[in-house]
């Protein structure tokens, strides 16, 4: 892949930074955070501003441009990708390495005295604004809100904001009506004496109203805001989307069942003024919730005395604990997904020797096979299909110029997933179609041991996921190896493939405790730049664990894998496994064979079934 | 033990809370934090204010008294002890349990509207003040600084502040002169463009000036403050302590070698006014460091524009990484300490059957045996000597009314340590002098497995200790067990037995990464209220680890035990150990035998040597 040429773009941006059309006083630096006005991880094309200015198209990155410098901060998943996509006008700032300055430190080191640093207040989260502003003002600079987005100002062919059709999933998939969800939410608000809640995260709005859209690729969400009061529901969404009779009926727009469940609809853009109106009418002690990750622009509408900024909203928490219908849906989605992947791997074994299968063609084939499954909607993220050295690019996405051919000589890593009406999947398998080297097997086995250590972990109720992160690393650490990303993330149910408030990562302390019904990924890896990448990912459900004792009646939890795709035995050095680990693998494979085998049989997919049976033979004891 | 009767005291305190002699307006609640004006963990008798008001004498606790209620917050180590020491005027708030409200939540729930909550600004840390003040004002209350301490006001026979003799350790023990330490500190200040640093932690002052005192039992520190400038050293200490010629010479008070190493001495109490004077003379951009855990009173002297509040001071960090002289000293101290404990255990085996050995007599005997060792100064904390159910009181201290006799039928736990001129020790052993039950052995073995998992852990350079905490718990968790305290704390070198900025605990995210040369404890446990307590504690040194690979040249670390006291084999169910764990135990015991055996031999302690040899026989393989 060749880097984006950014000389002219940077010249334009630097001109805009001095242009009184946009700003009253010139700014010496401009921050381009990733995300949109909803702080989404995946964004619509109209919001891909860091990609527009620097070329790097990974999901996480912050660009900062000063009069002399341009730098991009991203994390370990993207170091290689970012270095390949950016030209030499840009400095790559590798987050998480000791020598890498923070954005604040870097700004302070390069800026002249008394500098002004600009940022779009809609794109920066309130908590980020606060930290950045404090650090800059401590050093004699100031952070200023630039109302006109300067990237948009120089972006000539910027695409319009999407407004796709809304779909009502129905109780069969949701398990709860939106009315029940609003009522439960109001219960939480009443408990905390909060009378309003400003909902800004797109997946929270989609979940609350039991609606889905397709405004953002891979994420079945739609651009909207909501303001929920104890007796009001204000929904801000492009009004033409509400004209569809099914949506009208679903939201009871014409005939609400109860007055307090009447939805008032407003145009998407009017959230700012409407929030101002709500705030103007607040009684002296009234409290309003807003997520501390909501945009600075919207957060600052709420007077401080009324504002209660919370790290995780009650919707985020409620959404994370899946109800029985959602759990059943997720299980079914994962079985269908496994059917597609068994087909894929059986097909690959046959096709690879012909020398015509490439990273892109596998990704396409995987999508085709998934699309044959019931209730398939689309992919849940861009497929990472990577051969040999490309596997070391953690969030690699094959492009025509990087596309490699699969062979019998290199490790192949595929991290992919789909959206089905009944659930979201995310699975990574690392395989070899010839004979893996001893070293590749050794590394794979360490990763597998880490995967099992998390998946089989038993831990007390109330444990936060970050406390499990080191379990995934211990076997790698023992040999001096590691990986520079977290171990797991929350997974939505026909929603975002990455969601809070739980996860398994050394990077946070603020995650919420794991609870039965939460769903996270378990995905340790190992990456060697220029050689290969290994990752082994299952989506797992938090379930109660039976233990011999029960200290202080706290109860224990463990994980049940929802992903049911065989782990390639050829990649395992079974001598490195303990008996407990062998048993885990054999038990896992037995479950794959039972659940996925039955579905393959039902679907009459004989070749894939034979492949599954062969790939799930037990490891024999020494 | 019988609880303290607090009816009258609470009545006096509540009167003081309305007395215009102390406050302009009545306060509705008064907070009594633990600690002193230096936020010390161990405190002098004159500072034992929470004990005075509620009777609980554990090292960590915050008492809050309102017009109607009185409550004490403490952590899992002290639940049992606090419930026994407090009368029914007090509610015990068990920190760390989900149902326990925070101090702020509780205050908000019990206070009438617009209440004033008072606290002594010298005793509350600046960061605690900030959090508390914010939470209260969000709820319509306010936190107010009460200059006269209300406990002192009602405390008739309050002891005076101690002013003990200062001792100069000499280079043989310190490894570095105080002049070198000041110069290194100024280097750190220059790096960060900071021109002043207010030193408030007593152990930092003792370490910086290579002086020790005995103002606080168990901690060889002395009451002092220091303000270090790029060319100034201001020391605030009771002036008569500086009259001793050795101290005068050590500090070069009469003839400083360099002008910038001239120490200006001031009375202890004048730190407030002198800091005001320094602040008044600051140039516009000058920065002053102060720890964010320093007192609110002193912190607020520094104007916000000049104040740089830091979680860990450069002295805290420098002190944590022991120099070669300190490491050598710590090793020697631990060998001497092991000699005393081998003697103790050999003596116990002989004496216990007589039925005359009690918790208190063992503690006394242990102190006597330690005091026979070279350079012994005193204990490093009150000895926890506990039989059977007393062992479940995590920070138990035997008192005449609780004192139990050691027998052949109950588990015995001893957690003890000493201060030697060359180092500080802290060791816990849990033993049985008869035949432990299968269940006791099972629990002990899980704790041992956790201890080994941490001690033998290999992890990358830059890893924070909290990431290792779960390793200590995994084997307990597997069986539904756990313990409600952290796994390890930093240990000073002839300084406080608990020190920052590193440790091994799930409770923090803000610890500094482990580095070679740091010293921490490794002390998992298991406690069953009413039955027994188990804890296994070694002090361990962070050392570089040799690994098969070296990912990104980061290098790896592991631990070397400094504590060399045999682990009782009788308590181990060896069937539950892996081969790696057996090897660890055998290797550890071989080291105990070599290092401590040689010293026992040198000291001619034959009985203890025989005991050591017997207790360090290898576990045979299955």
Residue A622 scores a pLDDT above 80: no
CA B45 to chain centre: 17
CATH class of residue range A321-615: alpha beta
Kindly state the average pLDDT of the residues A277-301: 96
Structure confidence at residue B622 as a pLDDT band (50, 70, 90) = low
Per residue in B491-501, pLDDT (tens digit) is: 999 999 999 99
Kindly state the average pLDDT of the residues A443-452: 98
Q: What is the pLDDT of residue B285?
A: 87
Per residue in A142-194, pLDDT (tens digit) is: 999 999 999 999 999 999 999 999 999 999 999 999 999 999 999 999 999 99
**Can you tell me the distance from the alpha carbon of A440 to that of B612, in angstroms, rounded to the nearest whole number?**
46
Whether A39 and A200 have beta carbons less than 8 Å apart is answered as yes
Residue A399 scores a pLDDT above 90: no
**Can you tell me the distance from the alpha carbon of A247 to that of A165, in angstroms, rounded to the nearest whole number?**
10
Residue B508 scores a pLDDT above 90: no
Q: The pTM is what?
A: 0.93
**Can you tell me the distance from the alpha carbon of A46 to that of A44, in angstroms, rounded to the nearest whole number?**
5
Q: Where are the domains of chain A?
A: 6-154, 167-319, 321-615
Provide the shortest C-alpha distance from residue A76 to chain B (in Å): 12
Answer yes or no: do B468 and A469 touch at CB < 8 A: no
CA count, 13 A, side-chain hemisphere, B515? 13
Structure confidence at residue B81 as a pLDDT band (50, 70, 90) = confident
Q: What is the pLDDT of residue A366?
A: 98
Q: What average pLDDT does chain B have?
A: 96
Whether A436 and A444 have beta carbons less than 8 Å apart is answered as yes
Per residue in B578-595, pLDDT (tens digit) is: 999 999 999 999 999 999
Kindly state the average pLDDT of the residues B61-65: 96
Per residue in A459-512, pLDDT (tens digit) is: 999 999 999 999 999 999 999 999 999 999 999 999 999 999 999 999 988 889
Per residue in A239-284, pLDDT (tens digit) is: 999 999 999 999 999 989 899 999 999 999 999 999 999 999 999 9
A-B contacts at Cβ under 8 angstroms: 77
Identify the architecture of domain B6-154 in CATH: 3-Layer(aba) Sandwich (3.40)
Provide the shortest C-alpha distance from residue A449 to chain B (in Å): 15
Q: What is the pLDDT of residue A53?
A: 96
Q: What is the pLDDT of residue A92?
A: 97
Considering just the CA atoms, what is the radius of gyration of chain A in Å?
25
Answer yes or no: do B477 and A457 touch at CB < 8 A: yes
Q: What is the pLDDT of residue A86?
A: 96
Answer yes or no: do A480 and B509 touch at CB < 8 A: no
Asked, colleague to colleague, whether B6-154 and B321-615 share their fold, the answer is: no
The residue among A94, A549, A558 with the most chain B CBs within 10 A of its CB, best to mutate, is A549
Q: What is the pLDDT of residue A1?
A: 63
Listed in order, strand segments (DSSP E) in A355-486 are 376-379, 384-387, 411-416, 418-420, 423-424, 427-432, 459-460
Q: Using CB atoms, which residue from B138, B470, B549 is nearest to A479?
A: B549
Three-state SS annotation for B521-559 = EECCEEEECCCEEEECEEEEEEEEECCCCCHHHCCEEEE
In chain A, what residues touch B548 (CB-CB under 8 Å)? 479-480
Residue A293 scores a pLDDT above 90: yes
Listed in order, strand segments (DSSP E) in A67-166 are 70-74, 91-94, 116-119, 142-145
Lowest mean pLDDT among A389-403, A584-598, B234-248: A389-403
**Can you tell me the distance from the alpha carbon of B355 to that of B361, in angstroms, rounded to the nearest whole number?**
12
Please give the residue of chain B at the shortest CA–CA distance from A135. B308
**Can you tell me the distance from the alpha carbon of A311 to that of A293, in angstroms, rounded to the nearest whole number?**
7
Answer yes or no: do B480 and A459 touch at CB < 8 A: no
In chain A, what residues touch B545 (CB-CB under 8 Å)? 480
Q: Using CB atoms, which residue from B98, B482, B556 is nearest to A551?
A: B482
In this prediction the ipTM stands at 0.91
Answer yes or no: do A98 and B480 touch at CB < 8 A: no
Listed in order, strand segments (DSSP E) in A482-570 are 488-490, 499-504, 519-522, 525-528, 532-535, 538-545, 556-561
Q: What is the pLDDT of residue B1?
A: 63
Residue B414 scores a pLDDT above 70: yes
**Dihedral of alpha carbons A431, A432, A433, A435, sign:** negative
Burial of B350 (0-12, 13-18, 19+ CB in 10 A): exposed
In chain B, what residues touch A460 (CB-CB under 8 Å)? 477, 480, 482
Kindly state the average pLDDT of the residues B379-405: 93
CATH class of residue range A167-319: alpha beta
Q: What average pLDDT does chain A have?
A: 96
CA count, 13 A, side-chain hemisphere, B332? 18
Q: What is the percent of chain B where pLDDT is above 70?
A: 100
């Amino acid at each position: 892949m060749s880097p984006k040429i950014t000389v002219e773009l940077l010249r334009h941006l630097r001109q805009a930074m001095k242009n009184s059309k946009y700003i009253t006083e010139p700014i010496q630096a401009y921050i381009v955070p990733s995300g949109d006005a909803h702080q989404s991880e995946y964004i619509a094309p109209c919001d891909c501003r860091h990609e527009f200015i620097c070329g790097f198209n990974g999901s996480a990155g912050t660009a900062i441009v000063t009069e002399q410098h341009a730098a991009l901060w991203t994390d370990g998943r993207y170091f290689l990708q970012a270095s390949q996509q950016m030209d030499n006008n840009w400095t790559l700032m590798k987050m998480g390495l000791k020598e890498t300055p923070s954005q604040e430190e870097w700004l302070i080191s390069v800026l002249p005295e008394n500098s002004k640093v600009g940022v779009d207040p809609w794109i920066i989260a309130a908590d980020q604004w606060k930290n950045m502003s404090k650090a800059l003002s401590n050093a004699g600079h100031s952070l200023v809100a630039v109302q006109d987005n300067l990237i948009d100002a120089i972006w000539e062919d910027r695409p319009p904001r999407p407004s796709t059709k809304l779909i009502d999933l129905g109780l069969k998939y949701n398990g709860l009506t939106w009315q029940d969800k609003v009522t439960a939410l109001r219960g939480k608000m009443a408990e905390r004496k909060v009378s309003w809640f400003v909902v800004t995260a797109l997946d929270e709005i989609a979940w609350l109203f039991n609606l889905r859209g397709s405004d953002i690729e891979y994420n079945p969400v739609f651009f909207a805001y909501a303001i929920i009061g104890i007796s009001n529901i204000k929904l801000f969404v492009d009004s033409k989307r509400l004209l569809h009779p099914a949506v009208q009926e679903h939201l009871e727009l014409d005939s609400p069942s109860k007055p307090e469940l009447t939805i008032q609809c407003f145009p998407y853009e009017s959230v700012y003024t409407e929030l101002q109106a709500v705030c103007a009418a607040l009684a002296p002690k009234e409290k309003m919730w807003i997520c501390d990750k909501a945009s600075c622009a919207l957060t600052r509408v709420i007077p401080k005395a009324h504002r209660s900024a919370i790290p995780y909203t009650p919707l985020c928490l409620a959404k994370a604990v899946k109800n029985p219908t959602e759990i059943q849906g997720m299980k079914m989605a994962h079985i269908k997904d496994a059917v597609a992947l068994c087909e894929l791997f059986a097909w690959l074994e046959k096709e690879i020797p012909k020398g015509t299968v490439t990273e892109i063609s596998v990704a396409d084939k995987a999508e085709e096979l998934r699309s044959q499954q019931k209730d398939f909607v689309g992919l849940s993220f861009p497929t990472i299909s990577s051969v040999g050295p490309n596997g070391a690019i953690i969030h690699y996405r094959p492009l025509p110029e990087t596309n490699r051919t699969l062979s019998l000589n290199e490790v192949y890593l595929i991290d992919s997933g789909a959206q089905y009406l009944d659930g979201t999947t995310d699975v990574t398998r690392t395989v070899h179609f010839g004979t893996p080297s001893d070293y590749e097997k050794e590394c794979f086995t360490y990763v597998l041991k880490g995967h099992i250590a998390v998946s089989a972990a038993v831990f007390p109720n109330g444990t936060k996921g970050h406390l499990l992160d080191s379990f995934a690393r211990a076997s790698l650490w023992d040999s001096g190896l590691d990986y520079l990303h977290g171990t797991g993330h929350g997974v939505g149910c026909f929603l975002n493939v990455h969601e809070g408030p739980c996860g398994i990562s050394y990077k946070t302390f603020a995650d919420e405790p794991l609870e039965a019904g939460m769903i996270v990924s378990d995905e340790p890896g190992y990456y060697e730049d220029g050689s290969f990448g290994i990752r082994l990912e299952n989506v797992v459900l938090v379930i109660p664990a039976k233990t011999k004792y029960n200290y202080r009646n706290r109860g224990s939890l463990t994980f049940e894998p929802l992903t049911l795709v065989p782990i390639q035995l050829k990649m395992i050095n079974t001598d490195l496994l303990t008996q407990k680990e062998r048993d885990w693998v054999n038990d896992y494979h037995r479950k794959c064979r039972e659940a996925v085998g039955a579905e393959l049989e039902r679907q009459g997919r004989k070749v894939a079934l034979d492949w599954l049976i062969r790939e799930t033979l037990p490891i024999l004891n020494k």
